[in-house]
């Protein structure tokens, strides 16, 4: 076993005896399910928020950009905090923070409180996100592709539920505040599982061994930087769509009802994308090829959206492309590392730099829309970003490493 940090590294045989695979998989799924609803639920009720609170497009886009900034700035600290408190405890506290911030949205009647909830949820997501990669490496090192597929599925499902159900909830509950606070429920369901993880972690502590080398983020590793840039470009496209896709489709000439169906399709197609990627890798294991193909799918779908033609296939291509890209970009750091702590540090660096890049996407789209009244320039920009992702893929995994 390679010694990478001064964090506590459990003896695998004892750990697996104490914590069963079913609990690990369930805990991972439920934690991951909480990473996107607080952000994805904003877009469906954005027009109501703007009308009630008097927000411009650029300002309201901060409801997506603020959590992304938090996720970028705080990601490195999550690894340090996990060394002090333990990975399981930090994830539990993060879920509690996400749940609390979501609950507070029921009381929103001013913009400052709404932005405060975005900030708090961003803190929770930032602390938990990188640690889930280390969690997979710690408990399921022999099943990494399957666990990444499960992780990707949960994230996509969370985004799908948030983006597709929030508007009907607003109509049913007669309040966008109550509709937003509804997404407290996934956190409530996840917390008992993570309390169970903590209890089993305490019981297993007697068999743990500690090492003394301090953990560092891979700032000097070229591949880690390329993965961070790739993740950042993916975040630019995905979170820009998460914040503005309904309005993009409406300005393309689609009715509000059909736009809602298309956004749901965009979210739903990402749910099985991790599993699809896992099956494709078994047929053709080249990560490089699938990175390029997925980037091309996303670029093609966005190009169709730019020309406002074949919009249903466009949404399908964008959804599948971005979902497969997400699964691959999260798989590669785990394959490049050998310990849970190293995996968490790579994920922290990737998410730190990546989300800081991604945070600019929704804001810039809102700013351009305020100035131009359409999304043509923004969509073309996302096409170019997708093409750039394909080019970077050539350097992440050189041909000789195929």
Task: Work out the mean pLDDT of the chain and round it to a whole number.
Answer: 86
Scored b (16 or more CB within 10 A) or e, 116-146 reads bbbebbbbbbbbbbbbbbbbbbbbbeeebbe
Q: What angle do CA 299, 305, 306 make, to 5 degrees?
A: 85
Q: Give 307's contacts (C-beta < 8 A, 6+ positions apart).
A: none
pLDDT at 320: 94
As a whole number, mean pLDDT of residues 348-369 equals 87
pLDDT at 215: 60
Q: Are 97 and 124 in contact (CB under 8 A)?
A: yes
Domains of the chain: 8-401 (1.20.1250.20)
pLDDT tens for 145-195 read 889 989 989 998 998 899 889 989 999 999 999 999 999 999 999 999 998
pLDDT tens for 23-78 read 889 999 999 999 999 998 998 888 899 999 988 888 888 888 888 888 888 888 88
Q: Give 72's contacts (C-beta < 8 A, 6+ positions apart).
A: 126, 351, 352, 353, 354, 355, 356, 357, 358, 359
pLDDT tens for 188-247 read 999 999 988 877 765 554 444 343 445 677 888 889 999 999 999 999 999 899 888 888
pLDDT at 1: 34
pLDDT tens for 308-319 read 889 999 999 999
Q: What is the rounded CA–CA span in Å between residue 382 and residue 234?
A: 9
| pLDDT over 60 at 282, yes or no | yes
- Two structure tokens written together for 304: 């169709």
| pLDDT over 50 at 8, yes or no | no
């Amino acid at each position: 076993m390679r010694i990478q940090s001064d964090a506590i590294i459990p003896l695998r045989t004892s750990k697996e005896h104490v914590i069963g695979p079913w609990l690990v998989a369930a805990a991972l799924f439920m934690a991951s399910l909480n990473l996107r609803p607080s952000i994805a639920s904003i877009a469906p009720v954005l027009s109501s928020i703007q009308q009630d609170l008097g927000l411009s497009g650029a300002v309201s886009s901060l409801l997506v950009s603020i959590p992304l900034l938090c996720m970028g700035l705080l990601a490195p600290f999550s690894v340090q905090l996990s060394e002090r408190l333990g990975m399981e405890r930090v994830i539990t506290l993060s879920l509690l923070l996400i749940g609390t911030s979501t609950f507070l949205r029921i009381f929103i009647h001013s913009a400052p409180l709404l932005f405060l909830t975005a900030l708090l949820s961003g803190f929770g997501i930032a602390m938990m996100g990188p640690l889930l990669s280390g969690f997979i490496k710690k408990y399921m090192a022999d099943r990494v592709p399957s666990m990444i597929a499960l992780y990707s599925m949960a994230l996509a499902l969370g985004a799908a539920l948030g983006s597709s159900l929030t508007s009907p909830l607003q109509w049913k509950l007669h309040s966008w505040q109550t509709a937003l606070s509804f997404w407290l429920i996934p956190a409530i369901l996840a917390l008992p599982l993570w309390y169970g993880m903590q209890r089993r972690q305490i019981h297993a502590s007697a068999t743990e061994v500690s090492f003394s080398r301090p953990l560092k983020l891979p700032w000097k590793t070229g591949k880690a930087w390329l993965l961070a840039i790739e993740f950042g470009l993916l975040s630019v496209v995905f979170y820009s769509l998460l914040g503005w896709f309904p309005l993009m489709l409406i300005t393309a000439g689609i009715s509000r009802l059909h736009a809602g169906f298309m956004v749901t399709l965009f979210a739903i197609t990402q749910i099985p994308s991790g599993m699809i990627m896992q099956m494709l890798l078994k047929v053709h294991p080249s990560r490089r090829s699938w990175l390029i193909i997925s980037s091309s799918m996303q670029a093609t779908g966005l190009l169709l959206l730019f020309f406002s033609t074949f919009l249903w296939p466009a949404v399908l291509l964008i959804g599948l492309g971005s979902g497969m890209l997400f699964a691959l970009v999260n798989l590669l750091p785990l394959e490049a590392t050998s310990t849970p702590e190293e995996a968490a540090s790579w994920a922290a660096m990737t998410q730190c730099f990546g989300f800081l890049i991604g945070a600019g996407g929704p804001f810039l789209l809102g700013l351009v829309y305020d100035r131009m009244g359409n999304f043509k320039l923004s969509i073309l920009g996302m096409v170019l970003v997708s093409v750039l992702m394909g080019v970077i893929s050539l350097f992440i995994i050189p041909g000789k490493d195929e």
